[in-house]
Structure 1
Amino acid sequence: MKIGCIEYLNALPFTLPFQLGEIPTTHQFIFAGPTEISSLFQKNILEAGLTSVTTSFEKGYYTTPSLGIAADKEILSVNLYTRAPKESLTGKTIGLTSQSSTSISLLQVLAYFFWKQEPLFTALDRTVPLSAYDAFLLIGDEALQHPSFPEYETIDLATEWHSLTGHPFVFATWIFHSPNPSFEEELETALTWSEENLPTVVEEAHRRSHLSRELLFHYYSLCRYRLGEEEKLGLQKFKKYYDQIHALCA
């Protein structure tokens, strides 16, 4: 079975046990950014994948309701960097990473419904300096490695969502074309192994990223991999706003 997985450090607790051989598997794992994983899944190249939660909103896909990647009050790896206050973004140009539809949709929800702003969203052109933008969105390991930029305020979108709604935010989920209880059990086993061997996960994340072990321990403490009622309520609330935005754009 071909399994897609986002290539960021926050996905390691699901995949590292397989990669280390702690959990024997015949599955082939394909690692890429969330947008690419979603595309491969939609083309039926992948039978399952951990990817942007907005992909799960499409009809006909099965999800694991209890497993994913969420954040409560902060996440550190989904950041808007802005020169202007968030209440003064109307007319400002915001460069958007192409890596994740969920993070882009979250930013749009916050801007339109909570900050009451109408910025100009555009794809981030990495051939020009980031300073060419009034604001820009970065996610994943790149955001972790750049907590701040001179002359820009950093806004953690998970923090902003929680402060405005009181709910955690679900960024990613496991999706399938059809139910696969045996692989779900493997995922549960993998996550339990990582929870019991977190120093090993941190060490591998440090090797890959060169980020400090202290930061990585803190980062993994912020990531919620087991989704409970609070996360599901947050996801339901986000989907309502998501649907409204897409209805306006239709």
Structure 2
Amino acid sequence: MRFGKIDYLNLLPFDIFIKGYPTPSSFKQCLNHRKSYPAKLNHDFFFRRIDAGFISSLAGYDSWRKKQVTSCAIIGNKKVLSVLVLLQEKEGLDAQSATSNALCQVLGLKGQVLIGDKALRFYHQPQPKSDFVDLATLWHQKTGLPFVFGRFCYQAHGKFYTKMAKAFYQRPIKIPHYILEQRAKQSGLNRGQILYYLKHILYRVRPKEEFSLHCFYRQVRLKRVPRPRRF
């Protein structure tokens, strides 16, 4: 079993969960070697170097259409803090996230797309700073829906991954103090900022989230935003 994981703070609760979840030793070994940013995992998924993972929503379209998805995802609840567009900066996309770039185009924004720890550091930096838009906030303002940034998709071992996903979002996760301190040092944020960020991230896909994905895919087709492909 080959599982790929996004090495971002939004999956810190999953990191804690998976350490205690019963999996084959080969799964844990692969997990430690297949940590990367979203666009790289998309590529690995397309070429079947991994058979499951939290895949960018845009790249996960075919899995969604084939129903090879779990009811688990990375969801921005009204705001996300880690996916921003800096409006006064030179226009530019972020090479690490296809979905964030597509959402920026769907929402008709122009500016510099910023994701992950870089976006969180910018969000928490003291004034003055450039005008910016939180993409999950703007999506919610326009649709009344949360935005799904990544979906737990699979290409094999569907029963195993579906059971894992359900166990993850049903189990309350407490992050140990020492791990928070480690991630704070790595990210350049403090413990309070990390916990505040995680309060805005949901993981269970309910009807609202599913409908939000449907709306996003429809807008991607209408605006002819290119989706990541194998070739």
TM interval, shorter chain, is: 0.7 to 0.9
Is the counterpart of residue 172 in structure 1 residue 150 in structure 2? yes
1:21-60 CA deviation, whole Å, 9 max, x = no partner?
Answer: 3224320111111000000110011111112111111255
Aligned counterparts, 1:47-66, within 5 A: 47-58=51-62, 60=66, 62-64=68-70, 66=71
Question: Could you tell me which residue of structure 1 aligns to residue 72 of structure 2?
Answer: 67
1:105-148 CA deviation, whole Å, 9 max, x = no partner?
Answer: 1000000xxx6xxx5xxxxxxxxxxxxxxx31111111111116
Query: Which piece of structure 1 moves more, 28-37 or 181-190?
Result: 181-190
Contact 1:56 1:62 in 2 (8 A): no
Contact 1:60 1:177 in 2 (8 A): no
Query: Which piece of structure 1 moves more, 223-232 or 176-185?
Result: 176-185
Question: Could you tell me which residue of structure 2 aligns to residue 38 of structure 1?
Answer: 42
Structure 1 residue 154, shift from structure 2 partner: 1.5
Is the counterpart of residue 79 in structure 1 residue 84 in structure 2? yes
Question: Could you tell me which residue of structure 1 aligns to residue 183 of structure 2?
Answer: 205
Contact 1:14 1:191 in 2 (8 A): no
Structure 1 residue 248, shift from structure 2 partner: 9.1
Q: 2 CA distance for matches of 1:164 and 1:190? A: 30
Structure 1 residue 199, shift from structure 2 partner: 4.7
AA aligned to 2:222 is Q
Is the counterpart of residue 136 in structure 1 residue 141 in structure 2? no
Is the counterpart of residue 98 in structure 1 residue 95 in structure 2? yes
AA aligned to 2:54 is L
TM-score by length of 1: 0.78
Query: Residues 202 and 234 of structure 1: is their aligned pair in 2 closer, same or farther, counting only changes over 3 Å?
Result: farther
Q: Provide structure 2 residue ranges, at least 5 long, that are not aligned to the other structure.
A: none
SS at match of 1:246: coil
State the Cα RMSD in Å.
2.4
SS at match of 2:20: coil
**Aligned residues, how many?**
216
Higher strand share: 1
Contact 2:13 2:173 in 1 (8 A): no
Query: Residues 82 and 61 of structure 1: is their aligned pair in 2 closer, same or farther, counting only changes over 3 Å?
Result: same
Q: 2 CA distance for matches of 1:176 and 1:170? A: 17
Q: 2 CA distance for matches of 1:243 and 1:169? A: 17
Question: Could you tell me which residue of structure 1 aligns to residue 105 of structure 2?
Answer: 108
Contact 2:13 2:174 in 1 (8 A): no
Contact 1:158 1:168 in 2 (8 A): yes
CA radius of gyration, larger in = 1
Q: 1 CA distance for matches of 2:194 and 2:129? A: 26
Q: 1 CA distance for matches of 2:201 and 2:226? A: 32
Structure 1 residue 181, shift from structure 2 partner: 1.4
SS at match of 1:38: helix
Contact 1:14 1:187 in 2 (8 A): no
AA aligned to 2:17 is P
Q: 1 CA distance for matches of 2:101 and 2:226? A: 16
Query: Residues 199 and 217 of structure 1: is their aligned pair in 2 closer, same or farther, counting only changes over 3 Å?
Result: farther
Percent same amino acid at aligned positions? 29
Q: Provide structure 1 residue ranges, at least 5 long, that are not aligned to the other structure.
A: 85-92, 120-134
Contact 2:56 2:99 in 1 (8 A): yes
Query: Residues 248 and 157 of structure 1: is their aligned pair in 2 closer, same or farther, counting only changes over 3 Å?
Result: closer
Contact 2:121 2:188 in 1 (8 A): no
TM-score by length of 2: 0.84
